[in-house]
Every structure is written in structure tokens, then in C-alpha cells.
Structure 1
Amino acid sequence: MKRSILGLVLVAATASVQAQKVAYTEYKLKNGLGVVLHQDKTAPVVAVSVMYHVGSKDEQPNRTGFAHFFEHLLFEGSDNIKRGEFDKIVSSSGGQANANTSQDRTFYYETFPSNQLETGLWLESERMMHPVINEIGVKTQNEVVKEEKRLRVDNQPYGNFLPEVMKRLFTKHPYTWVPIGSMEHLDAATLDEFKAFNKKYYGPSNAVLVIAGDIDIAKTKQLVDAYFGPIPGNAPVVKTKYTETPITKEIIDSAFDSNIQIPAVITAYRVPGMTSKESKILEMASAVLSQGSSSRMFKKMVDDKKNSLQVGSFSYALEDYGAYFMYALPNNDTPLDTLVKDMDDEIVKLQNELISEKEFTKLLNQFENQYVDKNNRMLGVAENLADGYTFFKNTNNINTELEELRRSPGRIYRMLLKNT
């Protein structure tokens, strides 16, 4: 189900949580690699991360799943790291490594004791400079991705809700498919196609290296130059701009899932992208509506009316557009239309009635606590800095995003999300 208009009115209150500014050093290597360094000597740990500005939206419609596939494939090894040795090197050095992929970016990272900084830099430079992409690695990771899809999507209750909604919410933009992609497309792809995808997107001009933790800035610069400076530059990636046709009427549809016994009703809105002010306000709306047992929809539908087993909402923020979801699971054969009406009624209240200053103070404190908590972890700082560099074109966004929430008492945020 699609909706086209959502309004929201909030009253701002005085913030009570004070977050320290995140100091950083930012520069760019001659090959185009962005570098951001953050020094924090409170603990002897360091996070080494590389964010590539490539996700599933950069794939071809007949070759979906490539970006997520490379999340796995680039752990296979390099000219100087034998196949299967990457994780062994990390663990033997007292570290942890992982990666994740979205529609818009791929994020690789390691956390180490700070005396292993050079190990992390070597690993990530190897991944970028000369990864081994061969038939053995492709075949192995193809099976890994298939198993992940079976586990997280195909055999997971409600695991197909996001793909089903996105392909209806977006008709022109590549957001119409999700990062896991099509297994048939991966099976049909040639080795040359994988190599071409790597050459285009996984070079220094399409990436930012972020190092956060117990480091010496001057020495770290020398190490970065030694490991990443020799990597040849790649051609700048030109992103294709996709414009969706406005949603002009409600669309009602259904999808079958053999893994569930209780149906779910989902309403979805196409909304502005993550860099818009509206995106943050939608996150706040979700907290008002469904975060915790005292939230409006939970209290109304689960506690009071008892017509829902579960109810929720969340903002799915992406670079070009976003999606806003509301969902409910019926209790005692409650008609799904009843649940939709109850959820819509709460939206109308947010459109037309100011929330109290007390309620907004609580909301603001929740968001500021989340912000402070994430920036207390070196990996969280690294990812926030990378997000600012990549999406906001402003690394200092890590220090200014709270200013969008902190306003003088009585100021009114008013947002009207028209069909886009």
C-alpha cells in the first residue's frame, strides 16, 4: 500500500544532553582517496574503515546483487594475502572485521588494538589495490550469498516484505530492487563482468578512508601515504540521476509469504532522501508513534484496543529518496482495514496537533543519547564521519546534525511531504 502525503508538526524544546565536538583531520591523496583521521586516546583501540560510494543502485537491472556480492568477494584475498587468510590475520592480531552494503554504499572495517593500526591499513590497501577476483572465489561466494538469502529473506518470516514494497514504491529508480539482488543474475554473470564492476567502483576516487581511535596524526598520515599513496587513481564515478513519477493516488496490493501464519498490513510512503531535514524529522515521528511501550500506536493498538499483536513504524533513509513504513499484525482476526485506520488516525494527529513540550523533550533526549552513544564507540565515529563525507559532502555533519534537533522552546517544525 502506498500513501502520498504525510504531515508533521513538532514543538521543539531545550536539549539536555551535551555532546562533545568530534575533532578530525581531513585531506585527500593525489589518487583521489579521501582521508579522515580522528584521534581519541581514551582507550587503546583503533577503527580502520573504508566506505565505497557504491551500492545496489549502481547495478544494471539484469545484474542485480553485485554490490552485496562484492562485500563478500573482497574478503577472498589479494596478491599478497592468500585465499582464506584475511580473517585469520585479523583474529590473530586481536581484531575484528566485517562489512555491510546498502543501496548507496559499501562499508568495510576492522577494529584493532591500536598497536595493530598498520595491519588494518595494509589489509584495506590490499583490498583496494589488487584483490584477487577469480572463478574459485566467485563460485565460493556465490554459494555464501545464496545461503544468506535463504536464511535472511526466503525462509525468514516477513523477510520478503521490503523487496515486495520497494518494487511497488519505486518504478524508475534502482531502489526498486534490494541489495541482496537476484541469484539468477549472479549465476549468469561472467568473470569479466565482476572484474569490470570492481575496476569502476572500488578505486580511491570513489572511497573515503576513515581511521578513528588511539593514533598519532602525523605518524598515521605517513602510514596512509605509504600504503594507499601508490594505488593508481581511477576515473571518477558519474552517478546516474533517476527521477520518480509522483504518486498521485493510493495503491493497494498484496503479496503471499508461505513463512507466515499471521498476515501483516504495511503502509509505505515515498519520502525525501537522507540529506533532507525531513528525513531526520521522520525518524523522530517514528519514535513518537512506535518506539517503546509508551509510544502512541503501541499504547493505543496493543495495550488499549488490543487489536494488534505488534505495531511499528520506521524511516528507511536512502541517498536519493527514502521510504517510510508503518505496519501492524492483527490480534483476534481484527480486519486489516481497521489497523490501517488506527495508524492513519495517529498520522492525522501528528499533522494537526502539536505534541507537548514534555513529550518532545523526552524525544529529543532519546535522539541525543543515541547520538552520544554511537560516538562513544570508535567504529560509530568512523561510520558517522564516512557518512558525512560521502552523502552530505560535509564531514563536519557529525558535529552539526544535532543542531537540527536543538531549537529554542516554542519553535515549530512543520513538514509537508508531498508525493515526490
Structure 2
Amino acid sequence: MRRILFSTAILISGMFFSQQIKFEEYDLPNGLHVILHQDNTAPIVTTGVMYHVGAKDEIKGRSGFAHFFEHLLFEGTPNIKRGEWFKIVSSNGGKNNANTTKDRTYYFESFPSNNQELGLWMESERMRQAIINQIGVDTQREVVKEEKKLRIDNQPYGNLAISIYAHLFDKHPYSRNIIGSLNDLNSAKLEEFHTFYKKYYVPNNATLVVAGDIKPEQTKKWIEKYYSGIPKGPLITKNIPKDEPITREKEVTELDANIQLPAYVFAYRSASLKEKDTYALNMISSYLDGGNSSVMYKKFKDQEQKALDMGVNNDASEDAGVFTIHVIPMSNITKQTIQSDIDEEIKKLQTTLISQEDYQKIQNQYENQIVNQNSSINGIAEFLATNHVLTGKTNLINEEIDIYRSITRKDIQNAAKKYLNPNQRVIINYMPGKK
């Protein structure tokens, strides 16, 4: 049994800020990875399980399965009757939720610490013997259909993010959207849902995190009791196709009947969250759009008032990232003006080091962000699990602030040169109108 113990102390803005994120991790014989974080300052315990399965793991023609399971696996087990999951949690003073990305699916319960065992038992039930039957599938199809209508189909600019990934990736399954196709879900047979569950919802594809007001030795006994007997699943091999680098600028037009004003998006394929360049790209996004004093906010919304809305974001996933700049211009501002201004600011990044003052401001932003991220038990639990599942580096929770500090102004310039060139991007003209 492998056991590792870590702690850290963080220096923030010249002041010594003690934030020890201590944890212990080990593996059960069935392959389940366990992470324990003890914090007895409040009588709360979060139990979470992250499965290394997301939208990118779905087979063609069956999109939406990973997100669908986020709903389906609250239907119940032989020991938790249908419709009882949320009642059990709320009646015992807890809360629970789940979320899905392109790379993983995460479920958690937070209970008062005197109900810690209940959270461990419920997640073991989900892993061991979730009930997947036709009534559950049919019910959750309707739930997902309504979610899709609310969040995407009837939402202004609801399909914008979907369009970005669809045009930036061709072979790689990041081109698929997380919520998937209702046609794919409608045509799937019950046995296909069983197959997906048996393949991915196994201990050797999962990380269990227990964080908060725990007594580690007692917690380990409960983990042994509820999880050690769950059989190990078959070895999962992933052969994810890769796209060739983008070497020529591409421009596309998408229509949205729910909008009245066009949006222009400049999208670049960027580094994965495993690469150090991701941190430099995050800092670029903050430099360009990290508050009222940022470069593009001042240019587009404050001083020159060229945009009703704008934003810059670097979204890093397990295999690749997506760097986007979007602008909804004022009615009298042309797309050519917007593009010229964006190219001008990126060119400055590529040819001139940002000022020491701006550099320090960005450093402070990320130091504060990391401290805030680690200020709740829920946040710590999910971050620990995400780090292990997607990077294999659980201790990134303690190292990330030093990685940001290690990024130099030259690193920022080099990242802009490497990823943000016109021949590497897709321009999406997102226009009002029916498809």
C-alpha cells in the first residue's frame, strides 16, 4: 500500500500565509485510488468520487453518455430506492451534486462529520451496483432534454462554446459537446448503458477523496469495509486520435436565432493542463481581460467603448487547451476593427515584455485565486481528485502557486509567440439568424 504525505506553506504578497494542504494517498488492491485530507476546523466531511471518463471517451454515434450518467446514477441501487437519493442526503443534513467535463465525471456528498460513513456507503453503492433500467433511462432522457433546451437551445449564445470546439478539433473527440446529441441518446439500447457502466464505473478507473473533519484511521476502516470488495474492472485503454496542428487561418459563420447582436470569436488551440505553457497562457488571459484595468477591458469597454461584451479565456483540458477571445461589438463597430485591435494587442505581447507592474498584478491575482480555491473543503476535495486523475500529480494543489511564480515575463512572451498566431486560429462569426 503506497502512502505519501505532503504539506506546504505559501508566501503571499510578502506576507507569510500558512495554508497547509496535507493529504495522504494510497491504492486499494482493486485499483481504487484513495486521497484523505484531514481538516478538523469545521464539522463537515466531503466524500467525492471522480471517474476518469468524460465526453471524449464516448464512441461515435453515442455522444452524451458521460453527462447522461451524471443524471442516471442518482436513480438508485438495490439498497437506495428510486427517488430516495436526494431525500437521504437532505434528511441527514447534507448536500450533493455531480458534474461532467470532457475528461472526467465527479460525484460528491457533504455531510456533518457524524454522518461521514453515510457518504462513503452511498458512493460505494453507486460504484458497486447502480440500477440501470429502462424507466430510469427514459426518465433521465427527459431531464437531459429539458436541460439542453434551457442551457443551450433557448439560451442566447448557447451554442457558441460548442461551435468553438467543433471547429478547432476534427479528429479529436473534444470536437463533441458534453451534453451530446438527443438522437444518440434516444437510439441507444439499454444494454449499451450497461456496457458503459461496467467499463468505466470500476474502482481502477476511480479516485475516492475524503476531506474534512475525519479521523483517518476510522475512515480507512470504512473505506476497506465498503470498497475493498468491489471487483476490479478490465484494463481501460484509450486510443484518442490527434489532430494535426492548425497552420492556416480558418473563418466560419454560425447562426443563432436567439441573438440580436453578432459575436466574433478568435479561437486558438493551446496547451494541455499538463504543460507548463498553460500557466503562461492563463496569465496572458488575465493580462488581456483580468478586471477593469486589464488591456482589452480598457480598450473595448472603458476608454474606447467599442464592445458591449468581451472576454478572454484559456480553457485547458487533459489533452489540449482552447484559448479564446470573444467580442460583441457596439453596432457602429465593424468586425475588421475588432480583429485589427486584437491582432495589435497580441503582436505587442509577442514583441514586447509586459511591464513589471502588470506582471506583479497578475501574480497577485493568481495567488489570491489559489488561496480562495483552497478555502473550502469542497474545493480542496475536487482539486485533489482532479489533479490526480488528469495529471497524475495530486500534490499540484501545493505546487501550483510556485509554478505561477516561476513563469517569467519572457515565458509569457514565448507562449504568445507559440500559440497565438493568425495562421493558428479559427475565426467564428456568430450571427443572428436561423440555421
Give the alignment's TM-score, normalised by structure 2: 0.91
Residue 362 of structure 2 is matched in structure 1 by: 363
Cα offset for 1:66? 0.1
Cα offset for 1:19? 5.4
What is the rounded CA distance, in whole Å, between the counterparts of 1:281 and 1:79 in structure 2?
A: 49
Residue 109 of structure 1 is matched in structure 2 by: 108
Cα offset for 1:21? 3.1
**What SS does the corresponding residue of 1:253 show, helix, strand or coil?**
strand
**What SS does the corresponding residue of 1:405 show, helix, strand or coil?**
helix
Where do residues 132-143 of structure 1 align in structure 2 (5 Å cutoff)?
132-143=131-142
Cα offset for 1:388? 1.5
User: Identity across aligned pairs (percent)?
Assistant: 47
Q: Aligned partner of 2:323: which letter?
A: Y
Where do residues 224-373 of structure 1 align in structure 2 (5 Å cutoff)?
224-373=223-372
**What SS does the corresponding residue of 1:97 show, helix, strand or coil?**
strand
**What SS does the corresponding residue of 1:334 show, helix, strand or coil?**
coil
Structure 2 CA distance for partners of 1:290 and 1:27, relative to 1, 3 Å: same
Cα offset for 1:412? 5.3
Unmatched tracts of structure 2, length 5 or more: 1-10, 426-435
**What SS does the corresponding residue of 1:121 show, helix, strand or coil?**
helix
What is the rounded CA distance, in whole Å, between the counterparts of 1:43 and 1:104 in structure 2?
A: 32
What do the CA deviations read for 1:124-145 (whole angstroms, capped 9, x no partner)?
0000000000000000000000
Q: Which moved more, 1:60-69 or 1:396-405?
A: 396-405
Structure 2 CA distance for partners of 1:353 and 1:411, relative to 1, 3 Å: closer
Q: Aligned partner of 1:206: which letter?
A: N
What is the rounded CA distance, in whole Å, between the counterparts of 2:115 and 2:309 in structure 1?
A: 45
Match status 1:122 vs 2:121: yes
Structure 2 CA distance for partners of 1:51 and 1:137, relative to 1, 3 Å: same
Contact 1:19 1:372 in 2 (8 A): no
Residue 171 of structure 2 is matched in structure 1 by: 172
What is the rounded CA distance, in whole Å, between the counterparts of 1:162 and 1:298 in structure 2?
A: 21
Q: Aligned partner of 2:259: which letter?
A: I
What is the rounded CA distance, in whole Å, between the counterparts of 2:259 and 2:330 in structure 1?
A: 14
What is the rounded CA distance, in whole Å, between the counterparts of 1:396 and 1:321 in structure 2?
A: 21
Residue 417 of structure 1 is matched in structure 2 by: 418
Match status 1:158 vs 2:163: no
Structure 2 CA distance for partners of 1:159 and 1:220, relative to 1, 3 Å: same
Cα offset for 1:335? 0.8
**What SS does the corresponding residue of 2:103 show, helix, strand or coil?**
coil
What do the CA deviations read for 1:212-264 (whole angstroms, capped 9, x no partner)?
10001111000111111111111121111321111111000110000000100
Contact 1:14 1:408 in 2 (8 A): no
Q: Aligned partner of 2:418: which letter?
A: L
What is the rounded CA distance, in whole Å, between the counterparts of 1:156 and 1:265 in structure 2?
A: 17
Q: Aligned partner of 1:77: which letter?
A: G
What is the rounded CA distance, in whole Å, between the counterparts of 1:133 and 1:408 in structure 2?
A: 48
Contact 2:38 2:211 in 1 (8 A): yes
Contact 2:353 2:409 in 1 (8 A): no
What is the rounded CA distance, in whole Å, between the counterparts of 2:340 and 2:96 in structure 1?
A: 45
Q: Which moved more, 1:236-245 or 1:96-105?
A: 236-245
Q: Aligned partner of 2:77: which letter?
A: S
Q: Aligned partner of 1:21: which letter?
A: Q
Cα offset for 1:343? 1.6
Cα offset for 1:363? 1.0
Q: Aligned partner of 2:88: which letter?
A: I
Q: Aligned partner of 1:341: which letter?
A: S
Cα offset for 1:407? 3.5
Unmatched tracts of structure 1, length 5 or more: 1-12
**What SS does the corresponding residue of 2:166 show, helix, strand or coil?**
helix
Q: Aligned partner of 2:389: which letter?
A: T
What is the rounded CA distance, in whole Å, between the counterparts of 2:45 and 2:178 in structure 1?
A: 29
What is the rounded CA distance, in whole Å, between the counterparts of 1:410 and 1:239 in structure 2?
A: 37
What is the rounded CA distance, in whole Å, between the counterparts of 2:67 and 2:240 in structure 1?
A: 21
What is the rounded CA distance, in whole Å, between the counterparts of 2:172 and 2:94 in structure 1?
A: 38
Q: Aligned partner of 1:417: which letter?
A: K
Q: Aligned partner of 2:194: which letter?
A: K
Where do residues 199-218 of structure 1 align in structure 2 (5 Å cutoff)?
199-218=198-217
Q: Aligned partner of 1:398: which letter?
A: I
Cα offset for 1:317? 1.1
What is the rounded CA distance, in whole Å, between the counterparts of 1:186 and 1:112 in structure 2?
A: 33
What is the rounded CA distance, in whole Å, between the counterparts of 1:300 and 1:128 in structure 2?
A: 51
Cα offset for 1:15? 4.8
**What SS does the corresponding residue of 1:391 show, helix, strand or coil?**
helix
What is the rounded CA distance, in whole Å, between the counterparts of 2:318 and 2:144 in structure 1?
A: 25
Residue 41 of structure 1 is matched in structure 2 by: 40
Contact 2:45 2:214 in 1 (8 A): yes
**What SS does the corresponding residue of 1:255 show, helix, strand or coil?**
strand
**What SS does the corresponding residue of 2:218 show, helix, strand or coil?**
helix
Cα offset for 1:365? 1.1
Larger RCO, structures 1/2 (Cα 8 Å, 6+ apart): 1
What is the rounded CA distance, in whole Å, between the counterparts of 1:234 and 1:385 in structure 2?
A: 23
Contact 2:267 2:323 in 1 (8 A): yes
| Aligned positions, number | 408
Cα offset for 1:355? 1.6
Give the alignment's TM-score, normalised by structure 1: 0.94
**What SS does the corresponding residue of 2:253 show, helix, strand or coil?**
coil
Match status 1:96 vs 2:95: yes
Match status 1:399 vs 2:398: yes
What is the rounded CA distance, in whole Å, between the counterparts of 1:38 and 1:317 in structure 2?
A: 26
**What SS does the corresponding residue of 1:417 show, helix, strand or coil?**
helix
Q: Which moved more, 1:231-240 or 1:120-129?
A: 231-240
Match status 1:198 vs 2:231: no
Where do residues 44-83 of structure 1 align in structure 2 (5 Å cutoff)?
44-83=43-82
Q: Aligned partner of 2:238: which letter?
A: K
Residue 3 of structure 2 is matched in structure 1 by: none
What is the rounded CA distance, in whole Å, between the counterparts of 2:394 and 2:165 in structure 1?
A: 30
Q: Which moved more, 1:62-71 or 1:306-315?
A: 306-315
What do the CA deviations read for 1:162-186 (whole angstroms, capped 9, x no partner)?
1112111100000111110000000
What do the CA deviations read for 1:42-91 (whole angstroms, capped 9, x no partner)?
11111110000000000011000000000000000011100010000000
What is the rounded CA distance, in whole Å, between the counterparts of 1:78 and 1:409 in structure 2?
A: 52
What is the rounded CA distance, in whole Å, between the counterparts of 2:255 and 2:349 in structure 1?
A: 32
